[in-house]
Chains A and B, each alone.
Chain A
Amino acid sequence: MPIEQGILVENTPVAPDYYRLRLHLPKIARLCRPGQFVELTLSQTHDPLLPRPFSFMAADSRDIWILYRALGKGTGLLAKMRLDAKIRVLGPLGNGFAMPAASGRGGAADQMVLVGGGVGIPPLHHLAAAAIASKKIAPKNIRVFLGSRSAAHLLCEKEFKKMSVSLTLVTEDGSKGSKGLVTQPLERLLRASAGASGRLWVYACGPVPMLSAVAALCEKVGIACQVSLEAMMACGFGACLGCAVELKPQEEGLRYATVCKDGPVFDSKDILWR
C-alpha cells in the first residue's frame, strides 16, 4: 500500500466540530474502496506521535474526502491546517465492505440496508455512492438509516438526499426525523422483509452500543450484517497488534483480530459484543 503526500484542497466546517476535508491524492485515491481507511501523519514533531486513521466519505480517481470530528489533539491540528498543506498519507488500509453479489434468485431485487451513527455515517455514504456507480443496486433499493443524539450530529443528510436513496432519520432528542434509536425503524424493516425473495445486505457503522444492538437484531431475525469497527491504532497495517478486537471464542479459547488488517469490517456474528 502506497505512501503519498496529499495536498489539502478543502477543509470546510460542516457542523459544529465537524469538518470535511478533501485531499488531492491520485496514487492512493483510485485504490480506495468503501470501508477502507487511510492513516494521516498530522505532525512533523513527536507529539502527537502516532498517525490517525480516517475512513472515507468519498473517493474518486484523484481525490479523497474525509468527514471528521475535531475532538482531540490530532484532529484539532487537522482542523487548523491551511489549504495547500501537504499531509503524508498511508493507505488504503483494511479490508473494506463486501459489496452485494448477485443472488441469482430473480424476483425482487436485493436491497442494501445502511445503518449509521454519528461519525460512522461518512463511510456508508462512500458505500452507497460506490453501489450506485456500479449500477448493481438501484438507489431506491438502498435503505439508509441515520441516527444520532441530535440534529447537529446527523451527517451527510444532504448528500444522501441527492442520491435519491431511501432515507430515514432518527435522533434521540427528536430534533430531526423521528425520536428514538435508529434500531427501532430498522427492526420494522427487517421484520417486514422477512419473507421477501430479495436478499438484504446490512451494513452498520457507528458507536459500539449501536453496532451491538444492530448485531443482536440481525442475529434475531437471521440476517447477516457487516459492521465497521474502530480502535486506537499505532501501525495501522497488522504489525504491532495494538488494535485487537475480541472475537467469539472457539475451541482454542480466546481469539483476537486486528481492526486494521483483519477488519475494520467484520461479520457481526464473529464479534464478542460486551
Chain B
Amino acid sequence: MVKKPNLSVDLGRLKLDNPLLTASGTFGYGLEFAHLARLNRLGGIVTKGLSTLPIAGNPPPRISETRGGMLNSIGLQNIGVETFLADVLPGLKNFSAKVIVNLFGYTPEEYCALASRLDEVSGVDAVEVNVSCPNVKRGGLQFGQDPEMLYQLIRQIRQTTSKPMIVKLSPNVTSPVPLAQAAESAGADMISAINTVLGMSIDTETFRPRLATTMGGLSGPAIRPIAVRVVYQVAQAVSIPVIGIGGIETAQDVLEFLLAGASAVQVGTALFRNPRTPETILLDLESYLARKNIAHLSDLVGQLKLWEDKE
C-alpha cells in the first residue's frame, strides 16, 4: 500500500500541514474568501498588513499589469488591528490554516505596540514583520534597507512578543545577506523573502506613470528568478528557516524555492488569477513526490546541486 506523501513542514515553533501560505496583501484577511478557496487546504494565511489604526491607502491608479506580472502601489490599506481582532480572527479560528498576522508601523514603537497587542491573542500563530514594503514614503522602507536599523528594530520587537516571528525582506537592496543575518541575530525565528520589486511603468499616450505614486512594487512570475536568487543567498547565510515568496504559480515553482533552501512558500499574485491555485499546486506536489518516490517534501529543502558539487 503506497503511503501518501508527507507535506508537513516544521518551521521550528511554527508547524504547517503543508508548505503553502497565502502572501500578505493578496488574500485580504482570508475569511472573506472562504467560499472561493478551501482554507483548510492551506498551510497558512498571511493577513494583509495591519497597522494600529486603519489606513486608507494610496489614490488610484494603484495597479498596472505588466508582462507576466503587475505593479501595485496599494499603500498598505487595512482595517486596523482592532477591527481584525474583533471581526475577522474569530472566524479564522474555524479553519485549519495557520494564521500569520503581517504587521508594520512607522516607528519602532508602533511595531512594538502591535506585536505586544498580538502577543497574548490566541489564534494568532505567528507574526510576519513587514520592513520592506516599498510603497510607503517613510517609516518601514528604511528599516529593511539598513542592517543596523533592522537589527535594533527586530530586537525591540522580539522583547515584546514570544510569538514565532517572521521577518519579511525586501529585494531592493544590494545584498540581502547582511539584512538576513541582522534579523537572525536579533531573534527572528524565520525569514520570508521577497517582497515586491521596486518598478515603474509609463503610459505613452498620456505621458503619465501608470501608478499615481509613480513607482510601485512588481510581483508575479516576472520576479520569480530574483526571488529564488534571494532565497538561495539567504538560506546559505542563516540557520533559521526561510519562506520563499515571488511569482509562484505551479508546483514546479514551489519546488524551485525548496531546492534553493526555502522550507515553505507563499503564493500571492497568482491568487488574483485563480484563488484555487494553492489547491492545484498541492495535488501536483503530491503527484511529484509519488512519482519521484520521495516520502517527505521537506527532504527536498536545500537540495540544490551546484555544478561544482560532486554527484
A and B are partners in one complex rather than unrelated chains: no
